[in-house]
Amino acid sequence: MRETLVESARPDGVKAELRDTDTHIHYLRSLVRPPAGSRAVPQDVFWLVDGTTYLGEIRIRRRASGSHPSIKSHLYYEIRPSRRGRGLGIEMLRRGLLKARALGHRRLLASAQESNQPSRRMLEQLGARLIARRTIPHTGGTFRLYEIRLAARRTA
Ligand SMILES: CC(C)(COP(=O)(O)OP(=O)(O)OC[C@H]1O[C@@H](n2cnc3c(N)ncnc32)[C@H](O)[C@@H]1OP(=O)(O)O)[C@@H](O)C(=O)NCCC(=O)NCCS
């Protein structure tokens, strides 16, 4: 867990989430139930673990959202850096889609940066359909937007 967050640490203090166990539990609860007045979308968080070892997590937002209005997603996922490239990402997404279906989702939006080959492959392998490409003005970052239908057995 620390390995994952250290990798993604930003100057906005994301590492503060790991200061201690209580802080981290409080943070996780705030993802599921954002504080009153917050604009954050509630999300369900599932960890992939091997016994007591954290391998990664997938977050399923109750509605699609994103930091840029034209790039909205229901999903966020990550595998801890030392365990990447071994098929865990795709397995976690497969299980995450089952969870999403059980939570009542029937159609998910997902996004992947054009340059994020592993994320794109995961989505495409599990039946996500490319619906658009978007380039964010000024930054030039290009994203692929996908739709995942969960009613069909193949993706659920
Ligand atoms: C995206 C991420 C979850 C993938 O997890 P992973 O466990 O490494 O992925 P997998 O091993 O299951 O591989 C998934 C696919 O990507 C391919 N892949 C894996 N690593 C790759 C790499 N470095 N370059 C190109 N393709 C790669 C795999 O071959 C596989 O495709 P295939 O089935 O066609 O062979 C992981 O890279 C990660 O946590 N990245 C940082 C967070 C992130 O970008 N999240 C996505 C945004 S929501």
Yes or no: is domain 41-149 CATH 3.40.50.300?
no
Q: What is the mean pLDDT of residues 120-133?
A: 97
**3-state DSSP helix/strand/coil % of the chain, to nearest 5:** 30, 35, 35
pLDDT score, position 13: 44
pLDDT score, position 151: 80
Instruction: Report domain extents, the chain.
Output: 41-149
pLDDT score, position 8: 45
Query: Is residue 145 in contact with ligand 1, taking CB distance under 6 Å?
Result: no
Residue reference for tokens 């692929």: 144
Query: Is residue 118 in contact with ligand 1, taking CB distance under 6 Å?
Result: yes
- Strand (E) or helix (H) holding 60: strand 53-68
Q: Using CB atoms within 10 A of its CB, is residue 149 exposed (0-12), middle (13-18) or buried (19+)? A: middle
Q: What is the mean pLDDT of residues 114-125?
A: 97
Q: What is the mean pLDDT of residues 128-151?
A: 92
pLDDT score, position 9: 41
| Protein residue whose Cα sits closest to atom 33 of ligand 1 | 121
